[in-house]
Amino acid sequence: ILSGADVRTGLDSAVLQQAVLDHLYYSLGRLPAVATPANYYRALALAIRDRLQQRWIRTSETYFERGRKLACYLSAEFLLGPHLGNNLLNLGLEQAAREALTALGQDLDAILDCEPEPGLGNGGLGRLAACYLDSLATLQYPAIGYGIRYEFGIFAQEIRDGWQTERTDKWLSGGNPWEIAKPDIAYEVKWGGHTERYIDDDGAERRRWVPYRVVRGIAYDTPIQGYGVDTCNTLRLWSAEAAESFDFQAFNTGDYFQAVDAKLRSETITKVLYPNDEPAIGKRLRLAQQYFFVTCSLQDMLRILDLAGGAIEQFAEHFAVQLNDTHPSIGVAELMRLLIDERGLDWDAAWTITVATFGYTNHTLLPEALETWPLPLFREVLPRHLEIIYEINRRFLDEVRACFPDDSARVARMSLIGEAGEKQVRMAHLACVGSHAINGVAALHSELLKASVLSDFHALWPERFSNKTNGVTPRRFLALANPGLRALLDETLGASWPVDLGRLRELESHIDDPAFRERWRAVKHANKQRLADYVQAHTGIVLDPDWLFDIQVKRIHEYKRQHLNLLHIVTLYQRLKTYPAFSFPPRAFLFGGKAAPGYFTAKRIIKLINAVAETINADPEVNGRLKVAFVPNFSVKNAQLIYPAADLSEQISTAGKEASGTGNMKFMLNGALTIGTLDGANVEMRDEVGAENFFLFGRTADEVARLQGEGYRPADYLAGDDELKAVMELIGSGHFSGGDSEVFRPLVENLTQSDPFLVLADYAAYVACQEGVSAAWADQEQWTRMSIINCARGGKFSSDRAIAEYAREIWGLQSVPIQV
Ligand code: 26Q
């Protein structure tokens, strides 16, 4: 007989089995005889959440008692991926769960597959935030993630007739067993209206904000369990609700429908994630989302400080707040408002606290991707913040003038308000001025930041700048995604590598062991078969796991150059059609990624990938050596099948454009070789593996800048290269589009007339480098050595390394072990 505590906390498979049955019966109201796999998923998820609960509560309690500094990671996106498998891994409960389900006649893998993933992010930036939460908990750092509980995450992508179509992502429709709503943790959020002067009780002159509207933000907490430790941190996501007091007002005047309408409008704020990974100009709702989650988060910190009896003057000793890009940078003005207007601090005291509190991470160098807000819109939504920003700017520009006398051009460049055309609030400038630390996300990116978009800030405050090269969690992206390799690593290195990723280096002592290499290849082969099965199920395309798997998965963007990859594929196709005896090792090209719904060129690139795929896959003259597949709806879930199956990872962005990349690291850790440019973290990956284990091509960031400065003309490259010319003509002719010569004309014209990302300039070097790849693949023993070395030298790219650097160099954070 099991005690009540056991069924909630017991860890062996028999108790777990009982717990699943209990939840089926009591939480879902189902008997096993009629339970679906989705029912079992939910019951098991609830049983696992029970097992996190004690650690979760103990962790919060310990942080509160110990009163140590708390890192607050503010991010508009957390691209978490499914929780169940990860929680089982981090708790060490996979085997017990598998046995429990087997005893119930269920298969754990089928059950795991039932979880809809919380896709609360667009791509790299959102996934980085999720990896960092995993590392913060695993390294036992007191930390909390703050963000937005979007009712609809990133859209689900479907491919129809080769085109991307978007479906809403109803990830909450089956309920979310991982979150706990905390309706008592709620804050008021003001909007619009005006500000006014008043005299306070002490006779001092002050300003107050008289809003037009108020909504409430409600906390929803999700546990973030560390790997192999008792730390279980919190991700707190805010959801918008109507503020009752305002409902009542309308209700009392008899306008019930207006009250309901106000409620609906309030709830719109957290309805949907913006699916662009670049700012679209002046979307009021987006500004509302940013302010909404930032004010709730800062008010929450003040409440925590009050509960702990801390003095407001000590705010920065209690909280280190990291801004994940400029999306939460309104926090700089909001913390000033809270400290001055609500807590009565004077300007200087408030400013010292604010700068000591914030750190700012930049994720882009593309000038068009720097966030700005049209001034009239900003004033309408946040009138008090605009006043505060003006005052920050006045004092800041005085400082600039003092350091650089008689340099009015510099003053105009650095101002928080852009004056070119319509006036704009420059959020990156606000973030820089309000933060004591500013960092880029890879060594090259941090250097380019200092030299280009933030050079004026670097000249003023060089001590604020540093680099924090991104990392990825080896728990989800190696141990969980690649069970075959995990078993081999456990056996070869012992069990500690997931938390001490430098130990992968010890693999190098096995590269000359033919039996080890054979096992390494067998793992990769099985992963390729697993992916081939998935691709066949979702596209009908059959892939052979003996072929070279060449994979590019990431958001579709011109700067990432999926079309350069396509030009290579069409080149091979053309060679085969022209010289049937042309010989190279057979290759399967896989693509995956979403395009922003309004991004015309990106959507056409997807169409071209599918058009080329259809033509090639159906042509018996080439499909014995070439296959192309577009994997629909790239997500964290299918990424876990894709990375482990790659032989070759495509990291081919125009040098100087990709801030870091993180997919590149996930491929590397799973033993893929990289073909890439000297961009983002590729540079550091190549430094780690050595030039001989990396396929490098293309112009450097300096060369790119020089070429563009001189006036780049793609026609020159076309004229000098008959093969390239023929490739472009083939695409333009309608060959891949059933004779339709219109559909790809915009792409062809873009490349041949302007080519903003130097696709044609790097084409010849890319094709030549790919010939080197084919030659290397022909020697399987040598390829396997290179594959092992890529994994072995990947340790630097653990998010544990990155987080330890943030904790020490920016946050001043101490780890706090949890004892349950
Ligand atoms: C901003 C304003 C309005 C609407 C949307 C946005 C928005 C949303 C998402 C702007 C940017 C993003 C996402 C950017 C992103 O994912 N950047 C990537 O960050 C990774 C983590 O640092 C890097 O590895 C990639 O190089 C970088 O492209």
The residue whose CA has the least distance to atom 19 of ligand 1 is: 125
Q: Which of 88, 83, 289 is nearest to 171 (CA)?
A: 83
- In the reported structure, the alpha carbon of residue 646 is separated from the centroid of ligand 1 by a whole-number distance in angstroms of 25
Q: What is the pLDDT of residue 411?
A: 98
**pLDDT of 755 over the 90 cut:** yes
Which CATH number, 3.30.43.10, 3.40.920.10, 3.40.50.2000, 3.10.129.10, labels domain 67-82+117-469+804-811?
3.40.50.2000
- In the reported structure, the alpha carbon of residue 659 is separated from the centroid of ligand 1 by a whole-number distance in angstroms of 9
**Residues contacting residue 6 through CB under 8 Å, at least 6 positions apart:** 15
**Residues contacting residue 278 through CB under 8 Å, at least 6 positions apart:** 366, 368, 369, 596
Q: Identity (one letter) of the amino acid at 635?
A: S
Q: Is 618 exposed, middle or buried (0-12, 13-18, 19+ CB in 10 A)?
A: exposed
Residue 808 CA to residue 815 CA, distance in Å, equals 10
Q: What is the pLDDT of residue 4?
A: 54
The residue whose CA has the least distance to atom 8 of ligand 1 is: 277
Mutating to test ligand 1, I would choose from 73, 75, 154, 278 the residue with most ligand atoms within 8 A of its C-beta, which is: 278
Q: Which atom of ligand 1 is nearest to the CA of 126?
A: 16
| Model confidence pLDDT, tens digit, residues 759-772 | 999 999 999 999 99
Does residue 524 have an active-site annotation? no
Q: What is the pLDDT of residue 253?
A: 67
Residue 214 CA to residue 211 CA, distance in Å, equals 7
Output the CA–CA distances (angstroms, integers) from residue 524 to 40, 71, 520, in the order listed: 31, 39, 7
| Model confidence pLDDT, tens digit, residues 228-264 | 999 999 999 999 999 875 555 665 666 777 778 878 8
- In the reported structure, the alpha carbon of residue 323 is separated from the centroid of ligand 1 by a whole-number distance in angstroms of 13
Residue 360 CA to residue 785 CA, distance in Å, equals 40
Cβ < 6 A, ligand 1 pocket: 122-125, 128, 274, 276-280, 286, 327, 363, 371, 441, 470, 658-662, 680
Q: Which of 641, 674, 668, 666 is nearest to 776 (CA)?
A: 674
Q: What is the pLDDT of residue 248?
A: 56
How far is Cα of residue 220 from the mean position of the Cα atoms in its chain?
Answer: 20
Average pLDDT over all residues of the chain:
96
Does residue 662 have an active-site annotation? yes
Q: Which atom of ligand 1 is nearest to the CA of 122?
A: 9
Does residue 560 have an active-site annotation? yes
**pLDDT of 2 over the 80 cut:** no
The token pair that represents 639 in the structure block:
């990424």
Q: What is the pLDDT of residue 258?
A: 77
Which residue in 42, 127, 560, 699 is the catalytic one?
560
The residue whose CA has the least distance to atom 9 of ligand 1 is: 277
Q: Which atom of ligand 1 is nearest to the CA of 658?
A: 26
CA angle 729, 732, 738 (to 5 degrees): 120
The residue whose CA has the least distance to atom 1 of ligand 1 is: 279
Mutating to test ligand 1, I would choose from 77, 125, 799 the residue with most ligand atoms within 8 A of its C-beta, which is: 125
**Residues contacting residue 186 through CB under 8 Å, at least 6 positions apart:** 216, 217, 218, 219, 241
**Cross-strand pairs, 152:** 272
Q: Which atom of ligand 1 is nearest to the CA of 445?
A: 26
Which residue in 318, 555, 568, 594 is the catalytic one?
555
Q: Which atom of ligand 1 is nearest to the CA of 659?
A: 26
| Model confidence pLDDT, tens digit, residues 65-96 | 988 999 999 999 999 999 999 999 999 999 99
Residue 707 CA to residue 710 CA, distance in Å, equals 5
DSSP 8-state symbol, 620: T
For the chain, give the percent of residues with pLDDT over 70.
98
Domains 67-82+117-469+804-811 and 477-797 share a fold: yes
Q: What is the pLDDT of residue 249?
A: 61
Task: Decide: 269 and 242 in contact? Cβ < 8 Å.
Answer: no
- In the reported structure, the alpha carbon of residue 125 is separated from the centroid of ligand 1 by a whole-number distance in angstroms of 5
Q: Which atom of ligand 1 is nearest to the CA of 662?
A: 24
Which residue in 450, 468, 519, 666 is the catalytic one?
666
Does residue 468 have an active-site annotation? no
| Model confidence pLDDT, tens digit, residues 262-320 | 788 888 999 999 999 988 888 999 999 999 999 999 999 999 999 999 999 999 999 99
Q: Which atom of ligand 1 is nearest to the CA of 361?
A: 22
Q: Identity (one letter) of the amino acid at 289?
A: Q
The residue whose CA has the least distance to atom 12 of ligand 1 is: 277
Which residue in 127, 363, 517, 563 is the catalytic one?
363
Q: Which atom of ligand 1 is nearest to the CA of 371?
A: 2
- DSSP per residue, 653-668: PPTTT-S--SHHHHHH
- Read off φ and ψ for residue 795, nearest 5 degrees: -55, -35
- In the reported structure, the alpha carbon of residue 278 is separated from the centroid of ligand 1 by a whole-number distance in angstroms of 7
Does residue 530 have an active-site annotation? no
- DSSP per residue, 179-215: -EEEEEEEEEEEES-EEEEEE-TTS-EEEEEE-SEEE
Task: Decide: 566 and 609 in contact? Cβ < 8 Å.
Answer: yes
Q: Which atom of ligand 1 is nearest to the CA of 276?
A: 5
Mutating to test ligand 1, I would choose from 363, 426, 444 the residue with most ligand atoms within 8 A of its C-beta, which is: 363
What beta strand segments (E) does 289-397 contain?
Answer: 319-324, 358-361, 372-374
Helix (H, G, I), strand (E, B) or coil at 292: helix
| Model confidence pLDDT, tens digit, residues 513-569 | 999 999 999 999 999 999 999 999 999 999 999 999 999 999 999 999 999 999 999
- In the reported structure, the alpha carbon of residue 29 is separated from the centroid of ligand 1 by a whole-number distance in angstroms of 42
Token look-up 């596209």 returns 539
The residue whose CA has the least distance to atom 4 of ligand 1 is: 279
- In the reported structure, the alpha carbon of residue 650 is separated from the centroid of ligand 1 by a whole-number distance in angstroms of 19
Q: What is the pLDDT of residue 247?
A: 55
Q: Identity (one letter) of the amino acid at 390?
A: Y
ipTM: 0.99
Q: What is the pTM of this model?
A: 0.98
**pLDDT of 45 over the 70 cut:** yes
What beta strand segments (E) does 354-502 contain?
Answer: 358-361, 372-374, 417-418, 424-426, 437-440, 465-467
Residue 437 CA to residue 323 CA, distance in Å, equals 10
Output the CA–CA distances (angstroms, integers) from residue 813 to 120, 135, 229, in the order listed: 27, 14, 18
Measured over the CA atoms of residue 292, residue 293, residue 298 and residue 303, the dihedral's sign is positive
What beta strand segments (E) does 532-685 contain?
Answer: 548-553, 587-592, 626-631, 648-651, 673-676
The residue whose CA has the least distance to atom 3 of ligand 1 is: 279
- In the reported structure, the alpha carbon of residue 363 is separated from the centroid of ligand 1 by a whole-number distance in angstroms of 6
Residue 314 CA to residue 689 CA, distance in Å, equals 45
Output the CA–CA distances (angstroms, integers) from residue 363 to 277, 671, 750, in the order listed: 11, 26, 26
Give the CA radius of gyration of the chain.
Answer: 27
Which residue in 554, 557, 594, 627 is the catalytic one?
554
| Model confidence pLDDT, tens digit, residues 476-487 | 999 999 999 999
Residue 114 CA to residue 41 CA, distance in Å, equals 6
Q: Which of 292, 284, 244, 241 is nearest to 264 (CA)?
A: 241
For the chain, give the percent of residues with pLDDT over 90.
94
Q: Which of 59, 61, 50 is nearest to 23 (CA)?
A: 50
Helices 682-689 and 443-451 sit at what angle, rounded to 10 degrees? 140
**Residues contacting residue 150 through CB under 8 Å, at least 6 positions apart:** 120, 270, 271, 272, 273
- DSSP per residue, 47-116: HHHHHHHHHHHHHHHHHHHHT--EEEEE-S-EE---SHHHHHHHHT-HHHHHHHHHHTT--HHHHHTTPP
- In the reported structure, the alpha carbon of residue 339 is separated from the centroid of ligand 1 by a whole-number distance in angstroms of 30
| Model confidence pLDDT, tens digit, residues 451-471 | 999 999 999 999 999 999 999
Domain extents in the chain: 67-82+117-469+804-811, 477-797
**pLDDT of 1 over the 50 cut:** no
The residue whose CA has the least distance to atom 15 of ligand 1 is: 125
Q: Which atom of ligand 1 is nearest to the CA of 470?
A: 22
Mutating to test ligand 1, I would choose from 74, 277, 329, 677 the residue with most ligand atoms within 8 A of its C-beta, which is: 277
Which residue in 62, 270, 662, 674 is the catalytic one?
662
Task: Decide: 593 and 546 in contact? Cβ < 8 Å.
Answer: no
- In the reported structure, the alpha carbon of residue 80 is separated from the centroid of ligand 1 by a whole-number distance in angstroms of 15
Euclidean distance between the first and final Cα of the chain, in Å?
25
- In this structure, the number of other CB atoms found within 10 A of the CB of residue 143 comes to 28
Task: Decide: 425 and 416 in contact? Cβ < 8 Å.
Answer: yes
The residue whose CA has the least distance to atom 21 of ligand 1 is: 125
**Residues contacting residue 128 through CB under 8 Å, at least 6 positions apart:** 324, 441, 470, 662, 799
- In the reported structure, the alpha carbon of residue 460 is separated from the centroid of ligand 1 by a whole-number distance in angstroms of 26
**477-797 has which fold?**
Rossmann fold (3.40.50)
Residue 250 CA to residue 589 CA, distance in Å, equals 60
- In the reported structure, the alpha carbon of residue 644 is separated from the centroid of ligand 1 by a whole-number distance in angstroms of 24
User: Maximum distance among all alpha carbons in the chain?
Assistant: 92
Task: Decide: 194 and 61 in contact? Cβ < 8 Å.
Answer: no
**Residues contacting residue 718 through CB under 8 Å, at least 6 positions apart:** 724, 725, 728, 752, 760
Does residue 510 have an active-site annotation? no
